[in-house]
Amino acid sequence: MPSIPQPLVPGDDGSADASVAAALAAFAAGTGDAGAVASALSATRLLVPVVALLTESEVGAHGLEQEKESEMALPVLVGADGRKAVPAFTGAESLRLWRGDARPIQASTPQVCRAALGEDAAAVVVDVAGPVPFTIEGGMLRALASIGEVTGQQEGVQNLLRGLADHAEVTVARVRTPKRRFSRYFGRTRD
């Protein structure tokens, strides 16, 4: 018999993580930087929205069109330039600001970033409708996606994220652990 998976954060009340909210507020005020936001996001859960998508309809006995079949789907944002982005939210309230009918699914920030890359999305947009929208893209997206795939010290990964926020031209990130040395070439690992 299949088992129901346990939530990522049991007892989650849907509130935004305090450290993420503080980092986003500082970023919006101009007193914080993207690296601090990425660092705060790296160890927290996000809420990914799923919505009902009508796949088949029919005309009912009353003569009106009605739902016959629907599926749950992950919405994707599409920019004016055609690039795709996955929406994610720090809390239930920011999700409701965007779309009241969406249902939240808990996921870690690295999981969301890996899913975005798997969907060929160029970014993850956190809290797209506010209170403080934040875009994770480029090297920061790939660095956050690699957390959990690279074993090592969390502090080293957070320092890497801070550096990537300041230097968009960075294409290679190396994280050293006591046992092995890893070179991350955006998805490929070499010993």
Where along the chain do its domains lie?
18-54+66-190
DSSP category for residue 12: -
Average predicted confidence (pLDDT) for the chain:
77
pLDDT recorded at residue 132: 95
pLDDT recorded at residue 60: 72
Identify which has the larger pLDDT, 79 or 185.
79
Single-letter amino acid, residue 14: G
pLDDT recorded at residue 178: 34
Is 79 a residue whose pLDDT tops 50? yes
Is 93 a residue whose pLDDT tops 50? yes
Query: For residue 48, what is the enclosing H or E element?
Result: strand 45-59
The share of the chain scoring above pLDDT 90, in percent, equals 51
Single-letter amino acid, residue 139: G
pLDDT recorded at residue 7: 63
Q: At what angle do helices 109-118 and 138-146 cross, to 10 degrees?
A: 120
pLDDT recorded at residue 11: 79
Is 29 a residue whose pLDDT tops 90? yes
Identify which has the larger pLDDT, 21 or 154.
21
Mean pLDDT of 81-93: 95
Least confident of 19-23, 50-54, 80-84, 99-103: 50-54
pLDDT recorded at residue 191: 33
Identify which has the larger pLDDT, 189 or 25.
25
Can you tell me which residue has the tokens 């986003």? 24
Mean pLDDT of 159-169: 50
Strand ranges (E), 37-143: 45-59, 65-73, 77-78, 84-88, 103-108, 123-126, 134-137
Instruction: Kindly give the pairing relationship between strand 123-126 and strand 65-73.
Output: unpaired
pLDDT recorded at residue 63: 75
CA 90 to chain centre: 9
